[in-house]
Amino acid sequence: MTRTPLGMTFLAGTIIFLAGANVAGREDGPEKVDLAKLKTDLLRKMVRAHAAAFAKEKDHAAKATTLANAFGGAANVSDKLTYRYTDNKPVVDVDASKVVLAVPQIQRETVTEAVKELLGYTLNKVAEGSVIDGGKKYTLAKADARAVSGAVNMLWAATPPTPPVSTSPAIAARLDQIIKDLATLKNLQPRLDKLERDLPPLSKKLDQVLMDLNSLKKLDMRLDKLEQSAAKLAPLAEKTQTDIKNLSDRMANQEKAITDALKKQADDLKALQDQAKKAEDERKKLDERLKKLEQNQSSPSEHHKPSPSVPYYCPPVQFQVIDQGYYSLQMVRGCGGMGECFPVLSFVWIPCPTLVPVQPSSEETTPEAPKMDKAKDANPRKKDPEPNKEIAPTGDGPSLPELNSSSSVVHLVSTGARNHKVLQARQSVPVYNTTGLTAADAIDLFWQGRKLYYQEARLDALARFNAAIKLFSEDARFWYFKALCETDLGYRAQAEKSLQRAVNLHLEGKPTQALIGVALERVQGQPRQNLRAALDAQRGR
């Protein structure tokens, strides 16, 4: 089989046309018309709907001109169409018997191709969209559109036979070649049919490939957006890494600072324990000295022993006689029940029945008290005063010396027949100078006051605690030790207020329980019980 250029061109054009018609986009419409049910009127409307657009496109200008010359325009072709479905194949008859201009035999093939191209264009547009008929939308499958456009049957008017014309040898050779090409094309018809049958599956594959390409295009767009987002997030990620590094460095520095602080606190705690041990040793020594002093005071000295020549003991020089008795004023060391010590002014009054010495007989070995006349014993000053009552001076004897202290408290202690009137003179609390100090210096003042407290320097310790509270008042430790000092010094009302303030701060966690426990570690006995009772009472409210 010989392949001529003209035959190959025609074959290639046919394959391209069929492939192009099959590959064209196919879209399901509202109602897809089957070829077996397609009617002529609907087909004419489909062609007429897009004939004007066909004539305006530049790619179809030559074909539109051919149809205008033959039929008077592309739109007029629709009126010449008749559709039928025979042997399971569509057939479109085109009535070309009445044309505007007579079409020569040699141009009929060109007109046929123009009609096929018009049908292919218009029906493919209907397959992509739809056409309205009777208020209802209809469409075609793309494969059906291609089948209908390829099934054109031109009905030409009968022409009288033409007389034979003489042809030159060149024309005869050309005609022979054309006949051979037509025979070749006829032999290619089975292959074309096979290609036409294979085109629908290939069309589906091409549609799938197009869908995949569309999906890939969308994925590519998403990747571009992700890349743009990543480019925007890159500086933020770098800044985040820098912040994390800086935070790690800060945490490391803070951890080191905390470790150093804990180490310093451990050293301070050890030093405090050493000081506590030393203070405990000093306290034991002081207790021993106090015991010795009490023993010395409880045993009468040689100077105070009763004289055998005088039946009633009346001390000589340091006592002065008042009405039926004598008194003495002296400064002594007094200690309270919580271990506090302070200077006191002691007044002692001892009643005597008489001040006339009675010489004992030679047989008497011990002094005896003379008998008293009940009638003469009318002066109440001659009787022993009741215990725990204050003795006020009367007009019978000299008045007691006044103390130049508004905070003096008078106590009466009864020991047998002797009544001791103790005037405790409280010293004023010194004021610590806090000029130039800040809240950061409050803790140092607290530890200084705590040390002085354990050294029994209550006034100096209280001055430190007051100064620390003046600089920073939100620490329970300051108020606890302030309350302890005020209790030891006899300031009961102030001590209760300070203790209440300490308990409130304690429950608020200012400072932590561990720090408060370290500060109050050496506070034991009754003072510790008093602090615990106040804390429990506040928690129970």
Per-residue pLDDT, averaged over 339-352, amounts to 51
Check residue 490 and give left, alpha or beta (phi > 0: left; psi -120 to 50: alpha): left
- Judged by DSSP in three states, 494 sits in helix
- pLDDT confidence of 394, banded at 50, 70, 90? very low
Per-residue pLDDT, averaged over 327-346, amounts to 50
pLDDT greater at residue 292 or residue 148: 148
**Which residues lie across from 82 on neighbouring strands?**
93
Lowest mean pLDDT among 16-25, 276-285, 377-386: 377-386
Instruction: Determine the Cα–Cα distance for residues 6 and 177; give it in Å rounded to an integer.
Output: 10
Tell me phi and psi for residue 409, to 5 degrees: -125, 135
pLDDT reported for residue 389: 36
Q: Reduce the secondary structure of 398-421 to three states and give it as a string.
A: CCCCCCCCCCCEEEEEEECCEEEE
Instruction: Determine the Cα–Cα distance for residues 15 and 9; give it in Å rounded to an integer.
Output: 10
Residue-wise pLDDT for 228-259, tens only, equals 888 888 898 888 889 998 998 999 999 899 98
pLDDT greater at residue 533 or residue 388: 533
Closest alpha carbon to 129 in 210, 38, 40, 32? 32
CATH number for region 439-539: 1.25.40.10
Per-residue pLDDT, averaged over 17-38, amounts to 63
pLDDT greater at residue 173 or residue 322: 173
**pTM of the predicted model as reported, rounded to 2 decimal places:** 0.28
Instruction: Determine the Cα–Cα distance for residues 213 and 216; give it in Å rounded to an integer.
Output: 5
Q: What is the DSSP letter of 284?
A: H
pLDDT reported for residue 78: 85
C-beta of residue 477 within 8 angstroms of C-beta of residue 516: yes
pLDDT reported for residue 60: 85
Instruction: Determine the Cα–Cα distance for residues 322 and 352; give it in Å rounded to an integer.
Output: 10
Closest alpha carbon to 456 in 301, 280, 312? 280
C-beta of residue 462 within 8 angstroms of C-beta of residue 490: no
Q: Which residues contact 453 (CB under 8 A, 6 or more apart)?
A: 461, 481, 484, 485
- Judged by DSSP in three states, 99 sits in coil
Radius of gyration of the chain measured on its C-alpha atoms: 66
In the chain, domain spans: 5-158, 307-358+378-393+403-427, 439-539
